[in-house]
Amino acid sequence: MLKKIGIIGAGFVGQAWAKLFIQTGYQVMLCNSRDKNTLFSVASSLGCEIGNQEETIDFSEIILVAIPFVNYQQLPTDLLSNKIVLDTMNYYPDRDGHMEQLDSYQITTSELVAQHLCKSKIVKVFNAILARDILKDAKPNDKTNRRALPIAGNDDLAKQTVYELINQVGFDYIDVGELSESWRFERAKPAYCVPLNLEQLQQALSKADKKLELPHNSWKL
């Protein structure tokens, strides 16, 4: 199992995953869109390394992306070639602007990412949990009644690597299938950002309707 993870995006989500990964024995390098020295205090607090985007990508074969979805096309296709990319991004039209393909349910967010990062192994994962719950709900040392997280991807070997990662950091998981099925746990679906165990998550995924969204922010209650 690879023990290094690079994280692109140093907001609440990126920092929370960095802290959990470090707590469970991984080495982490974090980067943001600015100069890496702006992360000096964050690195000291978390115990992670910091780098620019190229250094962070070069650091590991696993790269977690935690940036606003609207910026996904800024990710470097060539640098991320052959990397396992953990796509945690979610589409929020109020923030990202409206995208016709997504608004009309023609494609999933992760399929758009995969079209852009055509040389990478995209795994949709870690998007259906709030930043505040990442550390709170993780049970790395207790496998009973864990919170379950959904995962999707087109590369079975890449998903196998991510299964192991999810288990090690303290969650159960359900593989929803290929990226085309990842709509089942996108924003405003029953499985989105709600604490659920395996059985409950399976039920929520099965209830999902591609064209039906839950009330905005209902998952934060």
CB 139 within 8 A of CB 169: no
CA pair distance 23, 201, nearest whole angstrom: 26
Predicted pLDDT of residue 2: 67
Domains of the chain: 4-220 (3.40.50.720)
The number of beta carbons lying within 10 Å of the beta carbon of residue 45 is: 12
CB 32 within 8 A of CB 39: yes
For residue 77, the 8-state DSSP code is: T
3-state secondary structure of 98: coil
Based on DSSP, count helices (H) and strands (E) in the chain, helices before strands: 9, 8
Length of the chain in terms of residues written: 221
Residue 110 Cα distances to 17, 85, 116, 164, 194, angstroms: 19, 11, 10, 21, 20
Tokens of 22: 């470090």
Tokens of 163: 């299964």
Q: Predicted confidence band at 217 (pLDDT cuts at 50, 70, 90)?
A: confident
Indicate whether 105 pLDDT > 80. Answer: yes
Q: Predicted confidence band at 1 (pLDDT cuts at 50, 70, 90)?
A: low
Q: Of all residues in the chain, what percent carry a pLDDT higher than 90?
A: 90
Predicted pLDDT of residue 36: 83
Side-by-side strand order, sheet with 84-87: 49-50, 27-31, 4-8, 62-65, 84-87, 121-125, 148-153, 172-177
Beta strands in 61-171 (DSSP E): 62-65, 84-87, 121-125, 148-153
Identify residue 166 by its one-letter amino acid code. Answer: I
CB 97 within 8 A of CB 71: no
Q: For the ranges 4-13, 20-29, 35-44, 181-190, which has the lowest average pLDDT?
A: 35-44
CA pair distance 8, 214, nearest whole angstrom: 29
CB 138 within 8 A of CB 165: no
Predicted pLDDT of residue 52: 94
Q: Residue 134: which residues within 8 A CB-CB, separation 6 or more?
A: 13, 16, 17, 20
Identify residue 124 by its one-letter amino acid code. Answer: K
The pairing of beta strand 148-153 with beta strand 121-125: antiparallel
Average pLDDT (128-134) is 97
CA pair distance 166, 131, nearest whole angstrom: 16
